[in-house]
Structure 1
Amino acid sequence: MNRPVMLVTGASRGIGAAVARLAAARGHDLVLTWRGGGSAMADTVAACEAAGAAVEAVVADAGSAADTARAFAACDARFGRIDAFVGNAGITGPAGDFLSSTDETWEAVFRVNVVGLASACREALRRMATSRGGKGGGIVLVSSRAAQIGSAFEWVHYAASKGAVDTMVLGLAREMAGEGVRVNAVAPGMIDTDIHAEIPGRIERILPGVPMKRMGTAEEVAEAVLYLLSPAASYVTGAVLPIGGGR
């Protein structure tokens, strides 16, 4: 029996890498994208292969429609199928208050987090939708609790982009419900990844406001992603699952 194939964007580290490793352990073959550079992707690929997965790693800018199309074409060439897509790649843009933000920052963040993600979803859905000859599948997008919290004085541009992701999930879920495709999202909060370490003192300032009084792990987010893609969530679509320790 062929192993299901999952494409994960931004998979070299953090949540994307955790999703890839868990998916490999649970029987998926993988197409993994990242912007290039560093050794993190090599480590992720090695871990996934050690778990028994066939892995295709593709350097691709999530904000480039051409790069995205190339990544999905690589999936076609290597595996001839796609069963799951995890849209994890994203950027925050520089931290700062709203009045200090620029149009260039907003455009850059929305280019990756919204426009680029929409392009990737189209590529996935063209292959999955039953009306296009596909066999259905599952999509999980990585949103953020920032969409509900607003990230005032830090990343309003990022929070706004993730609000767009939440709306995209609802619209795609309803359009694709008759096409054999479920579309959901996870909305991580304070997860122990590099993003929160970029602002000195941010973790210490925010953590007391998290009811569970700890940061989450990338592996905990990965568990939620794999659940939403599994048969156990067969009646779940259009959901945005908060993973924020109560915050």
Structure 2
Amino acid sequence: MTPNSIAIVTGSSRGIGRQTALMLSEQGYKVGVNFIQDRVSAQSLINDIDCCGGQGFLLPGDMSDEKTICDVFEQADKHGLLRVLVNNVGIVAQQSSLLGMDSQRIHKIIDTNLIGPMLCCQQAVKRMMEQNPKDKRCIINISSIASKTGSPNEYVDYAASKGGLDSFTIGLAKEVAKYGIRVNGVRPGTVDTDIHRLGGEPERAKSIAKIIPMQRPGTAHEVGKTVAWLASDEASYMTGTIIDVAGGL
């Protein structure tokens, strides 16, 4: 790996994104830490990366906004060559049946969880295509096991956005394989992170453990390890693959 290889992890100030950023730093990447509001947590992650001998840099911005996305990637260009993009940003709203959802909510979910990652991939592919085909380059999209279960009476909008992301991952992988760019996905199951608080169930991860075959929620560390593995040479012949990290769901 060249010294100026960078990785961008969207939504990386906390949870799965944070663990992923730490592990990519351990692989030798300069890591772009993207966040919207929580600068304190983002800076804390940068400090942790520095303490472990790595390098990180802040990339503030809302990754559902097209202009902001362009600006973020231009800022990242100042730090080196983009080798890895992890589309980790994802939001969920309060639990509801479809009939209880308004169009504003649905648009926000789709814009953030699907259109935003697609636009980020556009920016990444433009840059990666110009690089030496022998250099490893990859994109990893963080989906959800909800794309398979559908999340009825909870958040079918979220599930639909992640199902769309799965289809996009497979299609893009086939488009860019000829350039040596790999595109894969990870479907976390119930993981003990802040996203459940946004859905109105802060204790959800623990409360539904009994329906998970492994009888426990996952951890951000376990998901981050999977993402880091997909970014490594050990996964060099994998593209268009989506890995479930869901305890058997």
- Letter aligned with residue 95 of structure 2: A
Task: Show the 5 A alignment for 1:139-218.
Answer: 139-197=139-197, 198-199=200-201, 202-218=204-220
Match of residue 222, structure 1, among 224, 227, 243: 224
2: CA distance, partners of 1:63 / 1:221: 23
2: CA distance, partners of 1:25 / 1:133: 23
Q: Deviations over 1:156-206 (max 9, x none)?
A: 100000000000000000001101100000000011111224415533542
**How does the TM-score come out when normalised to structure 1?**
0.94
Matched residues, percent identical?
Answer: 32
Equivalent residues of 2:186, 2:243 under 8 A apart: yes
2: CA distance, partners of 1:37 / 1:186: 25
- Letter aligned with residue 233 of structure 2: P
- The 1:203/1:115 distance shift into structure 2, 3 A limit, reads same
Shift of residue 82 of structure 1? 0.7
Equivalent residues of 1:63, 1:112 under 8 A apart: yes
Q: Deviations over 1:36-87 (max 9, x none)?
A: 23521111111111122221201110111111111111111122x1110000
2: CA distance, partners of 1:194 / 1:2: 34
Shift of residue 3 of structure 1? 5.0
1: CA distance, partners of 2:132 / 2:119: 18
Count of aligned pairs between the two proteins: 244
Q: What residue in structure 2 maps to residue 233 of structure 1?
A: 235
Matched, 1:89 2:83: no
Which 10-residue stretch deviates more, 22-31 or 8-17? 22-31
Equivalent residues of 2:206, 2:216 under 8 A apart: no
Q: Deviations over 1:13-47 (max 9, x none)?
A: 00000001111122211111111235211111111
**How does the TM-score come out when normalised to structure 2?**
0.93
Q: What residue in structure 2 maps to residue 244 of structure 1?
A: 246
2: CA distance, partners of 1:25 / 1:104: 40
- Residue ranges of structure 1 left out of the alignment (5+ in a row): none
Equivalent residues of 1:72, 1:123 under 8 A apart: yes
2: CA distance, partners of 1:24 / 1:133: 21
What is the aligned-residue RMSD (CA, Å)? Answer: 1.5
- Residue ranges of structure 2 left out of the alignment (5+ in a row): none
- The 1:74/1:21 distance shift into structure 2, 3 A limit, reads same
